[in-house]
Chain A
Amino acid sequence: MHQTGPAARLCRAALIALCAPALLTLSLALTACSEVSNNPHPLGSEKTNTIFAPFRERSPKYLDPTSSYSNDETPVTYQVYEPLYGYHYLKRPYELIGKTAEEIAKPRYLDKDGKELPDDAPGESIAETVLDIKIKPGIRYAPHPAFAKDAQGAYVYHNMKREDVADKYKVTDFKQTGTRELTADDYVYGIRRLATPRIKSPSYSTMADYIVGLKEYGDKMVEIDKALRKDLDPTDRDLPMLDFRNYPFVGAEAIDKNTLRIRVKGKYPQFKYWLAMTFFSPIPWEAEKFYAQPGMAGKNLTMNYWPVGTGPYMLTDYIENRRHVLERNPNYHGETYPCEGEPGDKEKGYLVDCGKPLPFADKVVFDMEKEGVPLQAKFMQGYYDTPAIERLDLGTTFIVAMGDDAKKEKEYKEKGIQLPTTVEANNWYIGFNWLDPVVGKGATPEQALRNRKLRQALSIAIDWEEHIAIFERGQGVAAQGPLPPSLFGYRNDGPSAFNPVVYTKGPDGKPVRRSLDEAKRLLAEAGYPDGRDAVTGKPLVLNFDYQSSATPAVKALLDWYVKQFAKIGVQLEVRATDYNRFQDKITKGSVQIFFWGWLADYPDAENFLFMLYGPNAKALTNGNGENNANYQNAEFDKLYEKMKFLDDGPEKQKLIDEMITIVQNDAVWSFGYFPTSAAAYHQWITNGKPTQIVRNHISYLHLHPELRATLLEQWNRPVWWPVPLILIALIIAVVPAWFAWRRRERETAARTPATVSATT
């Protein structure tokens, strides 16, 4: 008896150890005895009207509309907040329409004496533009504790002490909520708040140049904030409310409950696009007051994490780097799906939901997905309705994969994955630093000419068509100038579609890159025959700054750049660094050649051409401008100043053409390429028109949960037969051990010592 107890235990232990994986698998099978067992979402959720989408890397950093300026924040911010204007969901070129505003306000122009000017007055004569924007009545905020009132009409949560919020970590921990109607004052508050010294306000510096009095207002608010904080430590986070209601300024006023007046310096037609961005969201003072209470900031209870808005959705859960949940705003004001779009939309089925109320989905759940492999797998299993809701690059990856692999093409087609494509206002280019003595402007006219020829030679040598073929897998268009095809100003028969410095016209009229001989000739004329300095005989070595470190994936790309320059005998020294260092160098102007890109803020040529406007030079404005190449050309600047005042039309087109010709000739950029973008949706999502400009697109997505549930079941039927097989295999492995053990236990003592001595 004494011997069998431990023996049995050993046997059981051995069995459990060997069978552990199989037992676990078996238990899993039992716990998940429904049709599918690999569903990462709660069982049954696939049948609900909930969109599931992943987010990458980390949670959005800023959900406060004053601070938010990053693509990954838009799936939340543009669904929760409503700026005054928005873009028509279907029409292309993009058309601005009123969101909370009844319509796009017609600007009134005033001269310096305040007299009204006609609409066609020259831009220089206009001292001020006045926008009187009518706001739709009856719009109400989503339920939020900041609005909660008791029976006496007093705010429930406006006078809390630190201990009252001790156990509160989410805005949903406050049980009572309320709402109120949106007024013009909320927009006034939001515009005043752009000048806040308390939080990041990336649009302030630009807006201070345009909104009347905003700059002075910002300076005043800095002083007021200092006074409010005078007895506090700079690192203190519980600050008294900076109540912008008490500090008016003339640039933004509420004429009445539903009329907002904004005064803009001079003429700035692009201002209307800013009004479609979340910087111009309404901010209810109640929310500011609510979040300014002691203990809130330390608990992350701020507008940066818990936004308050009138949009189709409200944020109901925020678990950092794990999950965000948007739920339908029950007070949403009943916008409907559009009934017209661009030609072809009807055939693509984008008009089927004409006139139906928005939003379609009740809930949107964003789950963190750090690694690409699980993300792709879950999308293919149908557990994500889209692999990226705010970006259009993953769709392109799917298209590339289909081209590479017939099996994948078959799978995607069988699963009915939709990959609609578009070319968006987005570019990648190589810039030459204008401040650099070798590739820049040049100190003397002779030097300037030589440097220009060098840049032109390099522009010819860098074969962007090859780059697109290799690194973008054909998903892109080589750029002829700085302007992408989707914007006004780009025309197929103009300089924006043909760069004569780098290309010639082929027999079919299409651009053909000039030969390397021409590049070499230009290089020789620049003073570097065969890539060597004609005077010193030393080889020409140029420095190329790249914005991420040389990982194996990047290495191939960097080698490609070296090869491009080597084709005409120029040596390229690559300085690959992390993005921070790269930005630092760009700000200081200590780069020679660099690679960078731009995603437009709004669909206007000005938003690309301003990157070449002299006064915006990054190194000359201490990093505040976006002219990364520090390009200076008086003629270009003059044209730009004229162009920025103009509305879209022939005159603006003419100026754009002239500006493009100038930069093509100066070759300050090697214009790179415009990537093709593609959305990716499962077949149960309809209305998924690809866009990177329309940011409130989630409310337009129509989910068909019944179809999803049916297909998920078909696609994810668990395969059980290997489970008993694994068990049998393990038993087969254990049985000989069992017999051996039995034999060893029964062995006589005579053999044991011999075995031991043999092993030791």
Chain B
Amino acid sequence: MINYIIRRIGYGILILIGVNLFTFALFFTVNTPDDMARMNIGGKRVTQDAIEKWKVERGYNKPLLWNAQKPGMEKVTDTIFFERSAQLFAFQFGSSDSGRDIGYELRQRVGPSIALAIPTFILGVFVVIVFSLLMVFFRSTYLEFWGVTFAVFLLSISGLFYIIVGQFLFSKVLKLVPISGFAGGWDLFVFLALPIVIGIVSRLGGEALFYRTMFLEEVGKDYVRTARSKGLSETVVLFRHVLRNALLPILTSTVAVLPLLFLGALIMESFFGIPGLGSYTIDAINAQDFAVVRSMVFVGSALYIVGLILTDISYTVADPRIRLS
């Protein structure tokens, strides 16, 4: 298994290089360093001299991928791509194009992102599993029918709609929670309650239907009949046997979303004014701040790779028959 993990980490590094290259190519296909300079300098009366100076100070005056003027290895190393990418692998994010310390910003923003994402994730998984198990429990009854109808109804509505309706209802009409904002301490709960509930409700429909299918597939298998024939109650059958056997696809879909916990929910953070990593990324894209975009994509892909490796490892825990090799 250790060999397997080492091999997967090796692949992961290759993937990271690829993602980095791809992000780089995409970003510079759309923007030129001159665009970035103009956007970053901003305001009236931006001279060409100021643009050139901005580029030199940030190393954007160099060729993108190949520096034909330089000898030997410097042809590759004295380029924007190499200089800007190599340090990322040491998790040195450097400064944003506007001059701010990216590492510091990440540390500041990871807290609010996690404060929103972890409860949404844990409560969400819990609610979805319970809801879908209940639908399976009440299969072939009117409760299942209405459960499925309800799930399809939830699934059909855009996440944005939940946000707008939630803000309208709970903040404007009922005046129970602030419409947006963020604060530490006990106030955190007041600010996060609505986004968490909306986060759970907006994913409930789709995931409950998916989990229900998984559980229904398991519930007709021989071992379930055996469990029942032993006289176990339906509850024990579902929670102890069916749930464990249906865990693999559930794990695949949940562990893989781990990066989202750190990268934040982009729309949610934007609408609720939560200063997390999601809004940081969006701000950077709007400001054409390549240093931040690249760092966030890097962190995102690294976490995704870690998430996938963790998924593989969790398979062996959930199902002892699985051996990683």
Contact = CB atoms under 8 A, between A and B. Distances in A.
B57 A31 contact: no
Interface in B6-25: none
A759 interface: yes
B130 A737 contact: no
A623 B273 contact: no
B317 interface: no
Interface stretch (A103-111, A460-468, A500-508, A711-719): A711-719
B40 to A, nearest CB: 8
Interface in A706-760: 716-719, 722-723, 736-737, 740-741, 744-745, 749, 752-753, 755-756, 758-760
Contact of B180 (A297, A304, A378, A626): A378
A584 B104 CA distance: 34
B127 A20 contact: yes
Interface stretch (B64-72, B227-235, B297-305): B227-235
B53 A197 contact: yes
Contact of A69 (B45, B54, B101, B240): B45
A381 to B, nearest CB: 8
B313 interface: no
Contact of A759 (B134, B139, B182, B201): B139
Contacts, number: 234
B141 interface: yes
Contact of B286 (A40, A57, A368): A57
A567 interface: no
A544 B120 CA distance: 48
Nearest to B287: A58
A235 B99 CA distance: 11
A317 to B, nearest CB: 13
Contacts of B35: 580-581, 584
B283 to A, nearest CB: 6
Given A10-B239, A24-B193, A580-B35, A368 B176 contact: no
Contacts of B176: 25, 28-29, 32, 37-38, 718-719, 723
A722 B43 contact: no
B143 A40 contact: no
Interface stretch (A92-100, A198-206, A351-359): A198-206
Interface string A364-392: 00011111011001100101000000000
Contact of B143 (A57, A202, A716, A740): A740
Contacts of A470: none
A61 interface: yes
A543 interface: no
Contacts of A369: 180, 273
A44 interface: no
B200 A20 contact: yes
Nearest to B61: A234
Contact of B239 (A6, A41, A319): A6
A737 B179 contact: no
Given A14-B134, A38-B179, A719 B173 contact: yes
A580 B201 contact: no
Contacts of A234: 56-57, 59
B77 interface: no
Contacts of B178: 38-40, 383
A622 interface: yes
B171 A13 contact: no
B177 interface: yes
B179 A377 contact: yes
A172 interface: no
Contacts of B31: 580
B175 A36 contact: yes
B306 interface: no
A758 B139 CA distance: 10
Interface in A182-240: 197, 200, 202-203, 205-206, 234-235, 237
A341 interface: no
B281 to A, nearest CB: 12
A3 B167 CA distance: 43
B290 interface: no
Interface stretch (B183-191, B245-253, B255-263): B183-191
B43 A62 contact: yes
Contacts of A21: 197, 200-201
Chain B interface secondary structure, helix, strand, loop or mixed?
Answer: helix
Contacts of B225: 753, 756
Nearest to B131: A17
B100 A718 contact: no
A753 B101 CA distance: 64
Contacts of B216: 759-760
B16 to A, nearest CB: 24
Contact of B190 (A31, A319, A622, A736): A31
A755 B140 contact: yes
Which of A320, A626, A718: most chain B Cβ within 10 A? A320
A740 B141 CA distance: 9
B273 A368 contact: yes
Nearest to A323: B275
B134 A737 contact: yes
Contact of B47 (A237, A623, A745): A623
B197 A719 contact: no
A6 B236 contact: yes
Contacts of A321: 275, 279-280, 283
A624 interface: yes
Given A10-B239, A20-B127, A717-B175, A744 B137 contact: yes
B275 A744 contact: no
Contacts of A177: none
A28 B176 CA distance: 8
B42 A61 contact: yes
Contacts of B193: 24-25, 27-28
A302 B95 CA distance: 14
A7 B219 contact: no
Nearest to A599: B44
Nearest to B47: A624
A398 B214 CA distance: 52
Given A299-B104, A749-B228, A206 B239 contact: no
A321 B100 CA distance: 12
Contacts of B133: 10
Contacts of A377: 167, 171-172, 179
B43 to A, nearest CB: 4
Given A20-B127, A320-B100, A38 B171 contact: yes
A40 B177 CA distance: 8
A271 interface: no
A299 B140 CA distance: 63
Given A28-B176, A234-B56, A237-B99, 18 more contacts: A6-B240, A17-B126, A20-B123, A40-B180, A42-B183, A61-B42, A200-B54, A202-B45, A202-B50, A299-B104, A300-B104, A374-B273, A581-B35, A624-B47, A624-B48, A758-B140, A759-B220, A760-B216
Going nearest first, the 4 A-B pairs with the smallest beta carbon separation are A760-B220, A40-B181, A40-B178, A374-B180
Interface of A: 2-3, 6-7, 9-10, 13-14, 16-17, 20-21, 24-25, 27-29, 31-32, 36-42, 57-58, 61-62, 68-70, 169, 197, 200, 202-203, 205-206, 234-235, 237, 297-300, 302, 304, 319-322, 367-371, 373-374, 377-378, 381, 383, 580-581, 583-584, 622-624, 626, 716-719, 722-723, 736-737, 740-741, 744-745, 749, 752-753, 755-756, 758-760
29 contacts: A3-B232, A10-B235, A17-B126, A17-B127, A21-B201, A24-B196, A28-B189, A38-B175, A40-B178, A40-B181, A58-B286, A58-B287, A62-B42, A69-B45, A300-B99, A371-B271, A374-B273, A381-B179, A383-B178, A623-B47, A717-B175, A718-B174, A723-B176, A740-B143, A741-B137, A749-B228, A753-B225, A756-B220, A760-B219
Interface of B: 31, 34-35, 38-48, 50, 53-54, 56-59, 95, 98-101, 104-105, 108, 123, 126-127, 130-131, 133-134, 137-141, 143, 164, 167, 170-183, 186-187, 189-191, 193, 196-197, 200-201, 216, 219-220, 225, 228-229, 231-236, 238-240, 270-273, 275, 279-280, 283, 286-288
